[in-house]
Structure 1
Amino acid sequence: MPAPTLVQRTIGRIERRIESGEWAVGDRIPAEGQLVEDLGVGRNTVREAVRALCHTGLLEARRGDGTYVRAASDLNAALQRRLRRAELKHILQIRLAIEREAAPAAATHRGEADLARILTALLARRRAEESGDLVAYVERDVEFHRAVVAASGNPLMTELYESIVESVRDSIASLLPSWTPEPLGASSHDDLADAIARRDPEAAAEAAWAHTRTVETAVERMTDDQ
Protein backbone atom coordinates (compact mmCIF):
# COMPACT_ATOMS: atom_id res chain seq x y z
CA MET A 1 0.00 0.00 0.00
CA PRO A 2 1.54 3.35 -1.02
CA ALA A 3 2.26 5.89 1.69
CA PRO A 4 -0.34 8.66 1.99
CA THR A 5 0.47 11.84 0.14
CA LEU A 6 0.99 15.16 1.87
CA VAL A 7 -2.50 16.24 0.80
CA GLN A 8 -4.01 13.05 2.26
CA ARG A 9 -2.16 13.54 5.54
CA THR A 10 -3.37 17.14 5.66
CA ILE A 11 -6.93 16.01 5.02
CA GLY A 12 -6.59 13.57 7.92
CA ARG A 13 -5.32 16.28 10.26
CA ILE A 14 -8.24 18.56 9.38
CA GLU A 15 -10.71 15.70 9.80
CA ARG A 16 -9.34 14.95 13.27
CA ARG A 17 -9.85 18.56 14.33
CA ILE A 18 -13.47 18.36 13.20
CA GLU A 19 -14.15 14.94 14.73
CA SER A 20 -12.60 16.00 18.05
CA GLY A 21 -14.92 19.00 18.23
CA GLU A 22 -12.10 21.52 18.03
CA TRP A 23 -13.89 22.83 14.95
CA ALA A 24 -17.61 22.30 15.53
CA VAL A 25 -20.35 22.15 12.93
CA GLY A 26 -21.15 25.72 11.92
CA ASP A 27 -17.69 27.06 12.81
CA ARG A 28 -15.63 28.95 10.27
CA ILE A 29 -12.24 27.31 9.97
CA PRO A 30 -9.07 29.45 10.03
CA ALA A 31 -8.16 31.34 6.87
CA GLU A 32 -5.80 29.74 4.37
CA GLY A 33 -2.76 31.62 5.64
CA GLN A 34 -3.42 30.52 9.20
CA LEU A 35 -3.88 26.90 8.11
CA VAL A 36 -0.57 27.01 6.26
CA GLU A 37 1.13 28.14 9.46
CA ASP A 38 -0.76 25.78 11.79
CA LEU A 39 -0.35 22.67 9.62
CA GLY A 40 3.16 23.42 8.40
CA VAL A 41 2.38 22.78 4.74
CA GLY A 42 2.21 24.87 1.59
CA ARG A 43 -0.73 26.84 0.27
CA ASN A 44 -1.36 24.44 -2.60
CA THR A 45 -1.54 21.52 -0.18
CA VAL A 46 -4.02 23.36 2.02
CA ARG A 47 -6.13 24.34 -0.98
CA GLU A 48 -6.26 20.77 -2.29
CA ALA A 49 -7.16 19.39 1.14
CA VAL A 50 -9.91 21.94 1.74
CA ARG A 51 -11.25 21.44 -1.79
CA ALA A 52 -11.43 17.67 -1.23
CA LEU A 53 -13.25 18.07 2.09
CA CYS A 54 -15.71 20.48 0.50
CA HIS A 55 -16.37 17.84 -2.16
CA THR A 56 -17.11 15.18 0.48
CA GLY A 57 -19.40 17.56 2.37
CA LEU A 58 -17.40 17.98 5.57
CA LEU A 59 -16.62 21.60 4.69
CA GLU A 60 -18.53 24.30 2.82
CA ALA A 61 -16.85 27.20 1.06
CA ARG A 62 -18.94 30.39 1.10
CA ARG A 63 -17.84 32.96 -1.43
CA GLY A 64 -16.54 36.08 0.27
CA ASP A 65 -17.14 34.65 3.75
CA GLY A 66 -14.71 31.78 4.29
CA THR A 67 -15.00 28.02 4.76
CA TYR A 68 -17.30 26.46 7.36
CA VAL A 69 -17.63 23.04 8.97
CA ARG A 70 -20.74 21.46 7.53
CA ALA A 71 -20.60 17.97 9.04
CA ALA A 72 -18.89 16.35 12.01
CA SER A 73 -17.83 13.12 10.27
CA ASP A 74 -17.87 11.22 7.01
CA LEU A 75 -21.09 9.54 8.18
CA ASN A 76 -22.61 12.93 8.88
CA ALA A 77 -21.63 14.23 5.45
CA ALA A 78 -22.88 11.13 3.62
CA LEU A 79 -26.24 11.29 5.40
CA GLN A 80 -26.64 14.97 4.60
CA ARG A 81 -26.05 14.27 0.91
CA ARG A 82 -28.69 11.53 0.99
CA LEU A 83 -31.16 13.60 2.98
CA ARG A 84 -31.10 16.36 0.38
CA ARG A 85 -32.85 13.88 -1.94
CA ALA A 86 -35.26 12.48 0.65
CA GLU A 87 -38.96 13.18 1.00
CA LEU A 88 -40.25 15.00 4.08
CA LYS A 89 -42.30 12.00 5.27
CA HIS A 90 -39.22 9.76 5.21
CA ILE A 91 -37.11 12.31 7.08
CA LEU A 92 -39.85 12.61 9.70
CA GLN A 93 -40.01 8.84 10.15
CA ILE A 94 -36.28 8.68 10.90
CA ARG A 95 -36.37 11.76 13.11
CA LEU A 96 -39.31 10.56 15.20
CA ALA A 97 -37.93 7.03 15.51
CA ILE A 98 -34.69 8.37 17.01
CA GLU A 99 -36.57 10.73 19.34
CA ARG A 100 -38.83 7.91 20.58
CA GLU A 101 -35.83 5.68 21.31
CA ALA A 102 -33.92 8.50 22.97
CA ALA A 103 -36.70 9.57 25.35
CA PRO A 104 -36.75 6.60 27.76
CA ALA A 105 -32.97 6.26 27.50
CA ALA A 106 -32.58 9.90 28.52
CA ALA A 107 -34.83 9.35 31.52
CA THR A 108 -32.60 6.45 32.55
CA HIS A 109 -29.16 7.85 31.85
CA ARG A 110 -29.37 11.64 32.02
CA GLY A 111 -27.02 13.59 34.26
CA GLU A 112 -27.64 16.92 35.94
CA ALA A 113 -25.92 18.80 33.11
CA ASP A 114 -28.13 16.98 30.59
CA LEU A 115 -31.26 17.93 32.52
CA ALA A 116 -30.16 21.57 32.77
CA ARG A 117 -29.65 21.71 28.99
CA ILE A 118 -33.09 20.17 28.38
CA LEU A 119 -34.88 22.54 30.75
CA THR A 120 -33.04 25.59 29.41
CA ALA A 121 -34.03 24.70 25.84
CA LEU A 122 -37.61 24.05 26.93
CA LEU A 123 -37.89 27.45 28.61
CA ALA A 124 -36.37 29.22 25.58
CA ARG A 125 -38.77 27.33 23.29
CA ARG A 126 -41.75 28.47 25.38
CA ARG A 127 -40.59 32.10 25.34
CA ALA A 128 -40.13 32.02 21.57
CA GLU A 129 -43.59 30.53 21.13
CA GLU A 130 -45.17 33.18 23.35
CA SER A 131 -43.39 35.99 21.49
CA GLY A 132 -44.40 34.65 18.08
CA ASP A 133 -40.79 34.53 16.91
CA LEU A 134 -41.02 31.52 14.59
CA VAL A 135 -37.33 31.51 13.65
CA ALA A 136 -36.30 31.39 17.31
CA TYR A 137 -39.04 28.85 18.03
CA VAL A 138 -37.67 26.43 15.43
CA GLU A 139 -34.11 26.81 16.75
CA ARG A 140 -35.14 26.27 20.37
CA ASP A 141 -37.32 23.28 19.44
CA VAL A 142 -34.39 21.70 17.63
CA GLU A 143 -32.13 22.38 20.61
CA PHE A 144 -34.64 20.73 22.96
CA HIS A 145 -34.71 17.51 20.94
CA ARG A 146 -30.93 17.53 20.50
CA ALA A 147 -30.55 17.83 24.26
CA VAL A 148 -32.88 14.88 24.86
CA VAL A 149 -31.04 12.69 22.37
CA ALA A 150 -27.66 13.68 23.81
CA ALA A 151 -28.93 12.72 27.29
CA SER A 152 -29.66 9.18 26.07
CA GLY A 153 -26.07 8.16 26.78
CA ASN A 154 -25.82 6.54 23.35
CA PRO A 155 -23.04 8.25 21.35
CA LEU A 156 -24.00 6.54 18.09
CA MET A 157 -27.61 7.66 18.42
CA THR A 158 -26.43 11.18 19.20
CA GLU A 159 -24.11 11.25 16.18
CA LEU A 160 -26.85 9.94 13.91
CA TYR A 161 -29.27 12.59 15.13
CA GLU A 162 -26.66 15.32 14.74
CA SER A 163 -26.18 14.08 11.19
CA ILE A 164 -29.80 14.85 10.35
CA VAL A 165 -30.25 17.96 12.49
CA GLU A 166 -30.43 20.30 9.48
CA SER A 167 -33.25 18.16 8.09
CA VAL A 168 -34.90 18.12 11.51
CA ARG A 169 -34.81 21.92 11.52
CA ASP A 170 -36.31 22.05 8.03
CA SER A 171 -39.02 19.54 8.93
CA ILE A 172 -40.09 21.57 11.97
CA ALA A 173 -40.21 24.78 9.96
CA SER A 174 -42.21 23.15 7.16
CA LEU A 175 -44.90 21.95 9.56
CA LEU A 176 -45.52 25.25 11.34
CA PRO A 177 -48.30 26.44 8.97
CA SER A 178 -50.22 23.23 9.74
CA TRP A 179 -49.47 23.15 13.45
CA THR A 180 -52.29 23.32 16.00
CA PRO A 181 -51.14 24.38 19.49
CA GLU A 182 -51.60 21.71 22.14
CA PRO A 183 -54.15 22.43 24.88
CA LEU A 184 -52.88 24.20 27.96
CA GLY A 185 -51.27 21.67 30.28
CA ALA A 186 -51.03 19.01 27.57
CA SER A 187 -47.63 19.83 26.07
CA SER A 188 -45.78 16.65 25.17
CA HIS A 189 -42.51 18.59 25.46
CA ASP A 190 -43.30 19.60 29.05
CA ASP A 191 -44.37 16.04 29.84
CA LEU A 192 -41.18 14.65 28.33
CA ALA A 193 -38.93 17.02 30.26
CA ASP A 194 -40.80 16.22 33.47
CA ALA A 195 -40.47 12.47 32.91
CA ILE A 196 -36.75 12.81 32.25
CA ALA A 197 -36.35 14.94 35.38
CA ARG A 198 -38.17 12.24 37.41
CA ARG A 199 -36.15 9.46 35.76
CA ASP A 200 -39.35 7.79 34.57
CA PRO A 201 -38.62 6.00 31.25
CA GLU A 202 -42.20 4.78 30.78
CA ALA A 203 -43.62 8.30 31.07
CA ALA A 204 -40.87 9.59 28.80
CA ALA A 205 -41.77 7.02 26.15
CA GLU A 206 -45.45 7.95 26.44
CA ALA A 207 -44.65 11.65 26.00
CA ALA A 208 -42.49 10.88 22.96
CA TRP A 209 -45.32 8.91 21.37
CA ALA A 210 -47.73 11.77 22.09
CA HIS A 211 -45.35 14.10 20.27
CA THR A 212 -45.19 11.66 17.36
CA ARG A 213 -48.98 11.67 17.06
CA THR A 214 -49.03 15.49 17.09
CA VAL A 215 -46.42 15.65 14.31
CA GLU A 216 -48.26 13.04 12.25
CA THR A 217 -51.49 15.04 12.56
CA ALA A 218 -49.69 18.15 11.32
CA VAL A 219 -48.29 16.21 8.37
CA GLU A 220 -51.75 14.92 7.45
CA ARG A 221 -53.19 18.42 7.67
CA MET A 222 -50.40 19.82 5.51
CA THR A 223 -50.96 17.05 2.93
CA ASP A 224 -54.70 17.76 2.82
CA ASP A 225 -54.05 21.47 2.23
CA GLN A 226 -51.79 20.84 -0.75
Structure 2
Amino acid sequence: MTLTASHRPVLADEITDKLRGMIHSGEWKLQQKIPAEPELMARLGVSRGTLREAIKALAHSGMLEVRRGDGTYVRATSEISGAAQRMYKDHTQEHILEVRIGLDTQAARLAARNAKPEHLAALKALLTERRDAWNSEDYAAWARADWDFHVLVAQASGNPLLHELYVSFGGVFHADLLRQQRRSGFNGLPDEGHGELVEAIEAHDEAAAVDSVNRNLNSCAEWLGV
Protein backbone atom coordinates (compact mmCIF):
# COMPACT_ATOMS: atom_id res chain seq x y z
CA MET A 1 0.00 0.00 0.00
CA THR A 2 1.26 3.47 -0.90
CA LEU A 3 1.23 5.84 2.04
CA THR A 4 -0.64 9.08 1.61
CA ALA A 5 0.47 12.35 3.16
CA SER A 6 -1.96 11.77 6.03
CA HIS A 7 -0.41 8.36 6.77
CA ARG A 8 3.22 9.51 6.85
CA PRO A 9 3.09 11.56 10.07
CA VAL A 10 1.34 8.68 11.86
CA LEU A 11 4.03 6.22 10.75
CA ALA A 12 6.82 8.66 11.64
CA ASP A 13 5.30 9.05 15.13
CA GLU A 14 5.19 5.27 15.50
CA ILE A 15 8.85 4.93 14.51
CA THR A 16 9.76 7.81 16.82
CA ASP A 17 8.11 5.92 19.68
CA LYS A 18 10.03 2.75 18.80
CA LEU A 19 13.37 4.55 18.69
CA ARG A 20 12.55 6.31 21.95
CA GLY A 21 11.82 2.95 23.54
CA MET A 22 15.14 1.51 22.37
CA ILE A 23 16.99 4.42 23.94
CA HIS A 24 14.98 4.42 27.16
CA SER A 25 15.42 0.65 27.60
CA GLY A 26 19.19 1.01 27.43
CA GLU A 27 19.58 -0.87 24.15
CA TRP A 28 21.65 2.11 23.02
CA LYS A 29 23.74 3.69 25.76
CA LEU A 30 24.51 7.35 26.32
CA GLN A 31 27.10 8.67 23.84
CA GLN A 32 26.74 5.48 21.77
CA LYS A 33 26.38 5.72 18.01
CA ILE A 34 23.10 4.21 16.84
CA PRO A 35 23.04 1.81 13.85
CA ALA A 36 23.35 3.24 10.35
CA GLU A 37 20.26 4.14 8.33
CA PRO A 38 20.18 0.98 6.13
CA GLU A 39 20.25 -1.29 9.19
CA LEU A 40 17.49 0.66 10.96
CA MET A 41 15.38 0.85 7.81
CA ALA A 42 15.54 -2.94 7.42
CA ARG A 43 14.90 -3.57 11.10
CA LEU A 44 11.92 -1.22 11.34
CA GLY A 45 10.58 -1.82 7.84
CA VAL A 46 10.36 1.85 6.89
CA SER A 47 11.64 4.17 4.19
CA ARG A 48 14.64 6.46 4.60
CA GLY A 49 12.37 9.51 4.69
CA THR A 50 10.22 8.15 7.54
CA LEU A 51 13.29 7.12 9.54
CA ARG A 52 14.86 10.54 9.10
CA GLU A 53 11.65 12.22 10.28
CA ALA A 54 11.75 10.13 13.46
CA ILE A 55 15.44 10.82 14.07
CA LYS A 56 14.88 14.53 13.46
CA ALA A 57 12.09 14.56 16.06
CA LEU A 58 14.30 12.90 18.68
CA ALA A 59 17.20 15.20 17.82
CA HIS A 60 14.90 18.19 18.34
CA SER A 61 13.89 16.83 21.75
CA GLY A 62 17.55 16.43 22.73
CA MET A 63 17.64 12.63 22.89
CA LEU A 64 19.73 12.21 19.73
CA GLU A 65 22.57 14.22 18.21
CA VAL A 66 23.16 14.06 14.45
CA ARG A 67 26.82 14.60 13.60
CA ARG A 68 27.28 15.28 9.91
CA GLY A 69 29.68 12.89 8.26
CA ASP A 70 29.86 10.74 11.39
CA GLY A 71 26.44 9.43 12.40
CA THR A 72 23.79 9.82 15.08
CA TYR A 73 24.55 9.46 18.79
CA VAL A 74 22.48 9.06 21.95
CA ARG A 75 22.61 12.35 23.82
CA ALA A 76 19.99 11.72 26.53
CA THR A 77 17.78 8.85 27.66
CA SER A 78 14.56 10.88 27.72
CA GLU A 79 13.09 14.16 26.53
CA ILE A 80 13.30 15.48 30.10
CA SER A 81 17.01 14.76 30.24
CA GLY A 82 17.60 16.20 26.78
CA ALA A 83 15.77 19.43 27.58
CA ALA A 84 17.59 19.75 30.89
CA GLN A 85 21.01 19.39 29.24
CA ARG A 86 20.17 22.21 26.82
CA MET A 87 19.03 24.40 29.71
CA TYR A 88 22.22 23.87 31.73
CA LYS A 89 24.21 25.73 29.09
CA ASP A 90 22.33 28.91 29.99
CA HIS A 91 22.89 28.74 33.76
CA THR A 92 25.80 29.23 36.12
CA GLN A 93 27.59 26.55 38.12
CA GLU A 94 26.06 28.09 41.24
CA HIS A 95 22.52 27.64 39.93
CA ILE A 96 23.23 24.05 38.89
CA LEU A 97 24.79 23.20 42.26
CA GLU A 98 21.81 24.69 44.10
CA VAL A 99 19.46 22.43 42.13
CA ARG A 100 21.72 19.45 42.79
CA ILE A 101 21.54 20.12 46.52
CA GLY A 102 17.78 19.75 46.36
CA LEU A 103 17.90 16.57 44.30
CA ASP A 104 20.81 14.96 46.18
CA THR A 105 19.37 15.53 49.63
CA GLN A 106 15.95 14.21 48.66
CA ALA A 107 17.52 11.22 46.89
CA ALA A 108 19.56 10.44 50.02
CA ARG A 109 16.53 10.78 52.31
CA LEU A 110 14.39 8.48 50.17
CA ALA A 111 17.22 5.99 49.62
CA ALA A 112 17.63 5.64 53.39
CA ARG A 113 13.92 4.79 53.46
CA ASN A 114 13.59 2.63 50.34
CA ALA A 115 16.96 1.16 49.30
CA LYS A 116 17.06 -2.60 48.76
CA PRO A 117 19.96 -4.95 49.62
CA GLU A 118 20.99 -5.09 45.96
CA HIS A 119 21.29 -1.30 45.87
CA LEU A 120 23.58 -1.35 48.90
CA ALA A 121 25.76 -4.08 47.40
CA ALA A 122 26.10 -2.13 44.14
CA LEU A 123 26.88 1.12 45.98
CA LYS A 124 29.66 -0.55 47.94
CA ALA A 125 31.09 -2.05 44.74
CA LEU A 126 31.13 1.40 43.12
CA LEU A 127 32.96 2.85 46.14
CA THR A 128 35.66 0.22 45.66
CA GLU A 129 35.84 0.91 41.92
CA ARG A 130 36.05 4.66 42.61
CA ARG A 131 38.86 4.22 45.16
CA ASP A 132 40.87 1.91 42.93
CA ALA A 133 40.57 4.26 39.95
CA TRP A 134 41.68 7.27 41.99
CA ASN A 135 44.65 5.43 43.48
CA SER A 136 45.75 4.28 40.02
CA GLU A 137 45.31 7.85 38.68
CA ASP A 138 42.70 6.75 36.17
CA TYR A 139 40.71 9.93 36.66
CA ALA A 140 38.21 9.29 33.86
CA ALA A 141 37.26 5.97 35.48
CA TRP A 142 37.18 7.65 38.91
CA ALA A 143 34.76 10.33 37.68
CA ARG A 144 32.59 7.72 35.97
CA ALA A 145 32.39 5.54 39.10
CA ASP A 146 31.63 8.58 41.27
CA TRP A 147 28.83 9.64 38.93
CA ASP A 148 27.42 6.08 38.74
CA PHE A 149 27.39 6.02 42.55
CA HIS A 150 25.25 9.16 42.80
CA VAL A 151 22.91 7.98 40.04
CA LEU A 152 22.42 4.71 41.92
CA VAL A 153 21.52 6.61 45.11
CA ALA A 154 18.86 8.43 43.08
CA GLN A 155 17.61 5.12 41.70
CA ALA A 156 17.54 3.61 45.19
CA SER A 157 15.23 6.45 46.24
CA GLY A 158 12.38 4.58 44.57
CA ASN A 159 11.24 7.73 42.77
CA PRO A 160 11.69 7.20 39.00
CA LEU A 161 11.10 10.88 38.14
CA LEU A 162 13.78 12.03 40.61
CA HIS A 163 16.12 9.43 39.13
CA GLU A 164 15.43 10.65 35.58
CA LEU A 165 16.02 14.28 36.53
CA TYR A 166 19.25 13.35 38.29
CA VAL A 167 20.56 11.46 35.26
CA SER A 168 20.25 14.68 33.25
CA PHE A 169 23.13 16.15 35.27
CA GLY A 170 25.59 13.65 33.78
CA GLY A 171 27.61 15.94 31.51
CA VAL A 172 27.75 18.80 33.99
CA PHE A 173 28.69 16.50 36.86
CA HIS A 174 31.59 14.95 34.94
CA ALA A 175 32.94 18.34 33.91
CA ASP A 176 32.80 19.63 37.49
CA LEU A 177 34.48 16.52 38.92
CA LEU A 178 37.38 16.65 36.47
CA ARG A 179 37.73 20.42 36.96
CA GLN A 180 38.07 19.89 40.72
CA GLN A 181 40.48 16.97 40.25
CA ARG A 182 42.98 19.18 38.43
CA ARG A 183 43.33 21.51 41.41
CA SER A 184 46.26 20.99 43.73
CA GLY A 185 45.36 19.38 47.05
CA PHE A 186 41.97 18.07 45.92
CA ASN A 187 40.79 14.96 47.78
CA GLY A 188 39.09 12.62 45.31
CA LEU A 189 37.92 10.20 47.99
CA PRO A 190 35.86 12.19 50.50
CA ASP A 191 33.89 10.00 52.89
CA GLU A 192 31.12 12.60 53.13
CA GLY A 193 28.36 11.85 50.66
CA HIS A 194 29.92 8.49 49.81
CA GLY A 195 31.04 5.93 52.45
CA GLU A 196 29.19 7.81 55.18
CA LEU A 197 26.13 8.01 52.99
CA VAL A 198 26.10 4.26 52.36
CA GLU A 199 26.32 3.64 56.11
CA ALA A 200 23.39 6.00 56.72
CA ILE A 201 21.32 4.36 53.98
CA GLU A 202 22.07 0.91 55.37
CA ALA A 203 21.02 2.11 58.85
CA HIS A 204 17.84 3.73 57.43
CA ASP A 205 18.99 6.99 59.04
CA GLU A 206 17.44 9.68 56.83
CA ALA A 207 18.82 12.63 58.82
CA ALA A 208 22.39 11.28 58.72
CA ALA A 209 22.09 10.63 54.99
CA VAL A 210 21.00 14.20 54.30
CA ASP A 211 23.70 15.63 56.58
CA SER A 212 26.42 13.63 54.79
CA VAL A 213 25.23 14.86 51.38
CA ASN A 214 25.12 18.48 52.53
CA ARG A 215 28.69 18.35 53.82
CA ASN A 216 29.90 16.83 50.56
CA LEU A 217 28.14 19.41 48.40
CA ASN A 218 29.38 22.28 50.58
CA SER A 219 32.90 20.98 49.91
CA CYS A 220 32.13 20.84 46.16
CA ALA A 221 30.94 24.45 46.28
CA GLU A 222 34.20 25.55 47.89
CA TRP A 223 36.32 23.81 45.26
CA LEU A 224 34.22 25.19 42.41
CA GLY A 225 34.34 28.66 43.95
CA VAL A 226 30.57 29.18 43.95
TM norm structure 1: 0.86
Q: Is the 8 A contact 1:58 1:73 kept in 2?
A: yes
Aligned amino acid, residue 191 of structure 2: S
Q: Is the 8 A contact 2:108 2:154 kept in 1?
A: yes
Name the structure 1 match of 2:14.
9
**Correspondence 1:52 to 2:57:** yes
Work out which of the residue numbers 76, 84, 87 in structure 2 matches 1:82: 87
Aligned amino acid, residue 141 of structure 1: D
Aligned amino acid, residue 187 of structure 1: D
1:198 shift after superposition: 2.3
Q: Is the 8 A contact 1:180 1:218 kept in 2?
A: no
% identical aligned pairs: 36
CA deviation vs aligned residue, 1:84-131 (integer Å, no higher than 9, x gap): 222111111112221111112111111111112211111111112222
Q: Is the 8 A contact 1:178 1:219 kept in 2?
A: no
**Correspondence 1:134 to 2:139:** yes
Name the structure 1 match of 2:170.
165
Aligned amino acid, residue 80 of structure 1: Q
| Distance (Å, rounded) in 1 between the aligned partners of 2:216 and 2:35 | 41
Q: Is the 8 A contact 2:180 2:223 kept in 1?
A: yes
Q: Is the 8 A contact 1:99 1:149 kept in 2?
A: yes
| Distance (Å, rounded) in 2 between the aligned partners of 1:96 and 1:170 | 17
Aligned amino acid, residue 14 of structure 1: L
| Distance (Å, rounded) in 2 between the aligned partners of 1:157 and 1:115 | 19
| Distance (Å, rounded) in 2 between the aligned partners of 1:63 and 1:34 | 18
CA deviation vs aligned residue, 1:41-77 (integer Å, no higher than 9, x gap): 1122212322332233211224454322111111111
Aligned amino acid, residue 153 of structure 1: G
Q: Is the 8 A contact 2:176 2:224 kept in 1?
A: no
Name the structure 1 match of 2:219.
214
Structure 2 residues not aligned, in runs of 5+? 1-5
1:13 shift after superposition: 2.2
Structure 1 residues not aligned, in runs of 5+? none
**What SS does structure 2 have at the residue aligned with 1:60?**
strand
1:180 shift after superposition: 4.5
Matches within 5 A, 1:9-158: 9-158=14-163
1:191 shift after superposition: 0.8
| Distance (Å, rounded) in 2 between the aligned partners of 1:204 and 1:117 | 17
| Distance (Å, rounded) in 2 between the aligned partners of 1:107 and 1:200 | 6
| Distance (Å, rounded) in 1 between the aligned partners of 2:139 and 2:27 | 31
Matched residue count: 219
Name the structure 2 match of 1:187.
191
Q: Cα gap change, 1:136/1:19 in structure 2, threshold over 3 Å: closer, same or farther?
A: closer
**What SS does structure 2 have at the residue aligned with 1:5?**
helix
CA RMSD of aligned residues (A): 2.4
TM norm structure 2: 0.86
